[in-house]
Chains A and B, each alone.
Chain A
Amino acid sequence: MRPKVHLLKLLVAAIVLSPFGCTSKRGPEFASGKQTGLLVSAAQELVRSELKSSFGTPTSLVAWQVLPVDYGVFEGKATKFNGQDLVVSLKGIGSNAADRRLSNLSGSVVTNEAGVAIGEVTHYSPSDGAMRLSNTGEAKIESDTTVRVIGDGLQFGRDLYLRHCMHCHGVSGDGDGPTAKYFAVKPRDYRRGTFKFTSTVQGVRASRDDLKRIIKLGIPGTYMPSFMLLPDDEIVSLVEYIRWLSMRGEVENSLYIELSNDFSTEANKDKARAEFKKEVDNFAASQLPGKMSEIGRDLAETWSASEDEANLLLPKDARGNVDGDSIKRGRELFLNKDVGCFSCHGESGRGNGVSTETFNKLPNSTELSKVPGLFDDWGNLVKPRDLTTGIYRGGRRPLDIYRRIRAGIKGTPMQGFSRLEDQQVWDLTNYVLSIPFKAHSESKH
């Protein structure tokens, strides 16, 4: 009879404990980057608190107005405000699209006419315009003035990101989510602000449309799947959230660069802890605000540049006829020493060029790599594309190949070729697109 009693106990225990589960109950959190960990603890604290005040936490986002991010804004007229309850008539509601947006309103920030934050929305009822606010301060809203409710788009993007992207790209966009460890090709770490496949000229970031295209089409040959069937407004919100996460990562990196001279653990092994605290506090009080607005301005500039029509890379000349001559000229360019495609992609385009076997300089460094091969800005060993497979990660349109050759693949050893004539780039494009079929017919004979 004994074992039975034990079994029963076990069963009861299992039933009682099952609602608690085994995993921790903590919500999503933004992890600190590796570089931040290289700072002394007081400086680490500063980076964290600064990021928290400019970007918030995954559950309580902050919309830093300096950044060129479309956070989603509703404008409206305030009719009554008693310090906590606001009656407001929002503009443009009543349409399906707006009603869908309203469901993401809770958590948004309300600002008054002067742009001062009044509080956060905790509840809103569209029928009578009654809005309940939390975290309210001293600031006032006069009747009949304009208020803005900011952030529904970012929150919608966040929700979608956590559902569709987080498990690979990580909560903070570091490319290290729970499923990332299963991949040979690492998920993108957004925090450098670099995205590989863009329609923009050399040195310019990815545009919104580039991110949209990647989300819709996926990246063939990698684990990035297609989200073709997500509704357009969801993709738009996702893109904004991903851009915002990138900017957050860049702010962290900029702060690290700013602080690393004076406060890296490496350089300050024999200094007392208390001293740092004072110096860091000093820095925070005197220099940080100015530094942050500088960082914000720089980000606004670089990210706005990618939306600039002038930075969209379009060929001056049309592709023209795709004939044997063009392909032959492309092949010659491919093997040309000054152009040098073959040194990475190999003479037959199999991605086995000589630089995959030599020790090369690491990106942004003067050091040589410890293993032979080519490395991207994220420190991953990358293989030059095997052009015989017919798989093109950044798209297979002639224009896509043109852009890869002309502007390069950002953040990788594939540099753009700005010196070539348009027609030469087209010849190369035509040759590259012909390789899979040539390889195929060769293997047959």
Chain B
Amino acid sequence: MNKFWPCFFMFWPVLAIVVFAISPSMGWWFPTEAFSPLGKQIDNLFYMILIIVGITFIGTHIGLGYVLWKAVDNKEPKAWFSHGSHNLEMLWSIAPAGILMFISLYQLDVWTRYRVQSKYPKDMLTVAEVTARQFEWRIRYPAPGKKLLPSPQPDDLYTVNDLHVPVNRRVLIRLKSGDVQHSFFVPGLRVKQDAVPGTVIPVWFETLEIGDYDLTCAELCGWGHYKMRGRVLAERQSDYDKYIKSLAHDQGYDGHNSDRDGSAELVKIEKATDKK
């Protein structure tokens, strides 16, 4: 019974090592890998932090277990009083401070690219304005061949919950809110940005593969929060152009077009041409 506590505390670091060892092959990490370059960098930051806390956790617990194990047969009636030891205090203040300082400096580069507008990539395509509202994503594209302007234009194209972007291209959306605070969250691309009423926030990302990526709201915005399901569909540039053209055709539809085939009567949801 004396050995119970040392064994108990030793069990956890051993379990941690086992989990660390098998999780890469079991896929026990994020639900999907990141499908954007910045997302991969963000994942690397998470991995780095995981390694640091993993080593710390295993190290401290093995230390704790070792001390307890030694103490089982310790007949010494008096304990060693370490409180107030200047050296020890210095050690466990400076070591974590150093680690935190390292993390904060190490992530600066990614953070800047992701969030600091003056450091955004220069060659970006502004695809659309996305307005979050209870409980959907309203999307405004510019007309084919035109630039997105801050205020609505007569030939703008509108859709909802279905954001198309060209693949392998840095794209920017202008994120707004129509009512309360929402959050534009695309887990597969590691994009998450709050939509704040009264502001227009530029959000950029780049998709590495053709496919559809779930878009959800990550800010509890009311009773219908769960209804805010959308998707980001990354497609070939040519398919994207075709999509914008079909939107333009639908939006200009006057019911009298000679090519009336009924297709313009109903909104069609196209499937991604290649699944990721």
- Give every chain A residue within 8 A of B231 (Cβ-Cβ): 229
Known contacts A182-B223, A228-B160, A229-B229: does B267 contact A319 (CB below 8 Å)?
A: no
**A228 and B252 within 8 A (CB):** no
- From 427 to 441 in chain A, residues with beta carbon under 8 angstroms from any chain B beta carbon are 433-434, 436-437, 440
Q: Is the interface of B mostly helix, strand, loop or mixed?
A: loop
Cβ A396 vs Cβ B161 within 8 A = no
| A199 to B159 CA separation, bound complex (whole angstroms) | 19
Q: How far is the CA of A399 from the CA of B152 in the complex (A)?
A: 20
Q: Which residue of A lies closest to B158 (CB)?
A: A396
Docked Cα-Cα span, A220 to B138, in Å, equals 9
* Contact (A209, B255) CB under 8 Å given A218-B136, A225-B224: no
Contacting B253 at CB < 8 Å: which of A216, A397, A436? Answer: A397
From A209, A225, A314, A436, contact of B256 by CB (8 A)? A314
Chain B nearest CB, measured from A154 CB (Å): 22
Name A229's contact: one of B162, B251, B265 (CB within 8 Å). Answer: B162
Q: State the CA gap A434–B154 with chains docked (Å).
A: 8
Of B135, B230, B254, B265, the residue contacting A318 (CB under 8 A) is B254
B161 closest partner in A (C-beta): A228
Is the C-beta of B119 less than 8 angstroms from some C-beta in chain A? Answer: no
Q: Residue B252 contacts which of A167, A213, A223, A398 (CB distance < 8 angstroms)?
A: A398
State A314–B158 Cα separation when bound (angstroms): 22
Chain A residues with CB under 8 Å of B224's CB are 179, 223, 225
B3 located at the interface, meaning its Cβ lies under 8 Å from any Cβ of chain A in the complex: no
B269 within 8 A of A: yes
A209 near B136: Cβ-Cβ < 8 Å: no
Residues of chain A contacted by B134 (CB below 8 angstroms): 223, 225
Give every chain B residue within 8 A of A437 (Cβ-Cβ).
152-154
Instruction: Say yes or no: is B18 at the interface (Cβ < 8 Å to chain A).
Output: no
Inside 8 A of A209's CB, which chain B residues have their CB? 265-266
Please give 10 more A-B residue pairs, beta carbons under 8 A apart, in addition to A220-B138, A229-B161: A213-B266, A228-B161, A315-B255, A315-B256, A317-B256, A319-B254, A397-B252, A398-B254, A433-B154, A440-B151
What are 22 A-B pairs with beta-carbon distances under 8 A? A179-B223, A213-B267, A217-B267, A218-B136, A223-B224, A225-B134, A225-B136, A226-B136, A228-B159, A228-B161, A228-B267, A228-B269, A229-B269, A315-B255, A318-B254, A390-B152, A397-B254, A399-B254, A399-B255, A402-B255, A433-B154, A434-B154
A interface with B by C-beta (< 8 Å): 164, 167, 179, 182, 199, 209, 212-213, 216-218, 220, 223, 225-226, 228-229, 232, 313-319, 390, 396-399, 402, 426, 433-434, 436-437, 440
